[in-house]
Amino acid sequence: MISKSTIDQVYETARVEEVIGDFVQLKKSGTNYKGLSPFTDERTPSFMVSPVKQIWKDFSSGKGGNVVAFIMEHEHFSYPEAIKYLAKKYNIEIEETEQTNEQKEQANERESMFLVSEYAQKFYEKTLWNTEPGKAIGLSYFKERGFTDQTIKKFGLGYNPDQWEAFTKAALGEGYKLDYLEKTGLTIVKEQQGQERKTFDRFKGRVMFPIHSMSGRVLGFGGRILTNDKKAAKYLNSPESEIYHKSKVLYGIYHAKQAIAKEDNCFLVEGYTDVIQMHQSGIANVVASSGTALTPEQIRLIHRLTKNITVLFDGDAAGLRASLRGVDLILEQGMNVKICTFPEGEDPDSFVKNNTEEDIAHYLKENAQDFIQFKTSLLAKEAANDPLKRADTVRDIVNSISKIPDQIKREIYVQECAKLMNVSEAVLYNTLAQINKKLVTDAAKKQKTDQKAFDVVRPDTKPEKVDVQFILEHKIIELLLIYGSKLETFEDLVLKENEKGDLVLQPEALEARVYEKIFLDLQEDEVELSNESFRAIYTQLIEHLNATAEFDIKKFLPTLGQEEMQQVSSILMDDEKYVLHNWERKDIYPKDKEVGVAQLVSETILSLRCNLIKNRINQLQKETENSMDVNTEVLEEIMNYIQLSKLLNSKLNRVLG
């Protein structure tokens, strides 16, 4: 159990823009920050962070909340896990009790798999440093690669003994369930007919590279064998599991994310040791695909932090042309890509090991080529003086250009290609048009194939009915959140008889805070909000505003449930999304909402009253329609409500039929 004082300290210390900045590249937008959604695939920013309110809102997915809610949503953490993550980030001491076997069993499946993976990482690391085989075999290998003790510890490298069940027995002895050892792929279980199941370690006799999520949790492992066993794979990765999807993970992203955002560039390499060696040499903005060809999901992971990728290829990389397919994928995601090759016989690992940080940085800067220059020079060499091969080369380059979603960039690349390949721009534009036409045709065919036969679109589909009550209750919560503690002079309406004996609404001035006005009016009419979520927020809001002189959103949000927190974030950030459109640049100046708060409050409450009266009249009319007898009392009540409705609507300048 985490103490309340520790939780309060986490909320006081953690800054939403700093925490989210570890996962998303944020750019200043007025008083807020904006960036690409980490929850959906988008190219136009719709994700906003408010440092003033300490909340965030993702307009593409509808998610929102405070700093803890982001960590829970993004990393699928439980509430305590999110608090622990933030406490660790801000060096806040937190009391943790050792988990009992019973508690381990009670943890959900996903969390149990994380716990098993984290235990495995500690086991491999401990074996590397504290056992004779670990030091003699594993540590010696890492030292031979040129890794320092500090680097080995930073990346959590380890060693699994060359024994069939060393890890499995240790994990079972600590109370971890075999079911989760098997699901994470750390232990292989063989069923034997009529005999007891046989278990053995997947990574027997291998040095271990833990693969971390963006937040630093252990998702899986890469293991390298050190013997010359031709039957065994040199590198072995964890299998796909509930927590590890290799197509969505980049090795080194946890250690590189801040450097990528800071440098506004990401170096992409092939192997684990390339990443580690470059980090050790002072170049931290580097990642590798985890034993798989580059995927769109991996590119989007980088895209959250930067729009610029520099792909580093070995000097003698076999199948370099095939590797260029990954470049087309990067272009498809709307990113800027450069390519840098190392001298023949060198790879990133060997090159950075033999050069200083300054020399490496200078080499990368001077030799990183725009993708079209690189591809042109590479393919042109292959084509030489063969006209047919030359034509294929041009077509290949134009095909890459067609992947770029930005029209201006496409045009610039066409001009560049025309110069380099000595081909007219008109021919290239014509080829580009043909490729795009084929893409559109193929997409149309696919859509037609996917469409169900005889699918009938009903012409009588009715538009969705507007829920007036929901809109008005939403507005009341919005007024309380934004202006709740604001002191205003209201024009209160009192029902009085005039000289003729008619009921009229007479205005009376009243000075009160917005929350007091709303609360008193709703209490007077005995109105309770119908929406369950709004009702819960309203109750908490009135209590909070009544207890404090100034409304503090940071203290208020933790008192809400997850659904209510998302509602509150949506309401508070709803106006902020219009900042994304930058209306002032278009000479459109929205009216300041601070003007006329008292009028807005009064009109909202009047509208709510009118809507409730209308609903009550409809209800009473239905009762009289279903009754055979004429009930004069009910008719009189209907007439009174109609008269009151006319009075209220006249105040709102509405004409009723």
Could you tell me the pLDDT band of residue 590, with boundaries at 50, 70 and 90? very low
Which tokens is 650 given? 């006249």
The pTM score is 0.73
Q: Tell me, what's the pLDDT at 96?
A: 65
Please indicate, yes or no, whether residues 263 and 347 belong to a single structural domain of this protein.
yes
- Encoded amino acid at 63, one letter: K
Domain boundary among 367, 395, 424: 367
More confident: 568 or 200: 200
> Does some domain include residue 455?
no
pLDDT of residue 314: 77
User: What pLDDT does residue 133 have?
Assistant: 94
How many domains does the chain divide into? 5
Mean pLDDT throughout 182-198?
87
The answer to whether the beta carbons of residues 251 and 288 sit under 8 Å apart is yes
Regarding whether 318 and 407 lie in a shared domain, the answer is no
Q: Are residue 500 and residue 566 in the same domain, yes or no?
A: yes
| CATH code of the domain covering residue 29 | 3.90.580.10
> Token match 């439980």: residue?
78
In a domain, 588, yes or no: no
CB count in 10 Å sphere of residue 340? 18
pLDDT at residue 103, rounded to an integer: 56
Domain end: 445, 476, 497, which one? Answer: 445
| Same domain membership, residue 603 and residue 626 | yes
pLDDT above 60: residue 179: yes
Quote the pLDDT of residue 373.
82
Which region among 235-244, 617-626, 645-654 has the lowest average model confidence (pLDDT)?
Answer: 645-654
Residue 585 within any structural domain of the chain = no
pLDDT of 538 higher than 80 = yes
Of 244, 390, 252, give the one whose Cα is nearest residue 312: 252
Digit-coded pLDDT (tens) for 435-445? 888 767 766 66
Same domain, 260 and 115: no
Of 136-140, 559-563, 598-602, which one has max mean pLDDT? Answer: 136-140
- Give yes or no for residue 205 having a pLDDT over 80: yes
- Residue 275 sits in a domain whose CATH number is 3.40.1360.10
User: Is there a single domain that holds both residue 551 and residue 624?
Assistant: yes
Q: Are residues 482 and 631 in the same domain?
A: yes
| pLDDT score at 321 | 63
Q: State whether 441 and 304 are in the same domain.
A: no
pLDDT digit string (tens) for 103-114? Answer: 555 557 888 899
Residue-wise pLDDT for 268-295, tens only, equals 998 899 999 999 999 999 999 866 788 8
The side-by-side arrangement of strands in the sheet containing 336-341 is: 250-251, 286-289, 266-269, 308-313, 336-341, 369-370
**Size of the chain in residues:** 657
639 and 525 within one domain: yes
Inside any domain, residue 336 = yes
Closest alpha carbon to 568 in 595, 536, 604: 536
Instruction: Single out the residue in 229, 244, 259 at which a domain terminates.
Output: 244
Residue 436's domain comprises 385-445
Query: Is there a domain that residue 372 lies in?
Result: no
Task: Specify the CATH number for the domain of residue 194.
Answer: 3.90.980.10
Q: Are residues 491 and 638 in the same domain?
A: yes
More confident residue, 163 or 599: 163
Residue 153: what pLDDT? 97
Residues 171 and 227 in one domain: yes
Burial of 589 (0-12, 13-18, 19+ CB in 10 A): exposed
Q: pLDDT value at position 453?
A: 46
pLDDT digits (tens, 9 = 90+) for 221-261: 999 999 887 788 888 999 999 999 999 999 999 999 989 98
Whether 61 is in a domain gets the answer: yes
Same domain, 404 and 270: no
Distance, in Å, from the CA atom of 264 to the CA atom of 397, rounded to the nearest integer, reads: 26
Residue 18 within a domain:
yes
Considering the domain boundaries, does residue 312 fall inside one?
yes
Per-residue model confidence (pLDDT) at position 147 = 96
CA atoms lying within 13 Å on the CB side of residue 260: 29
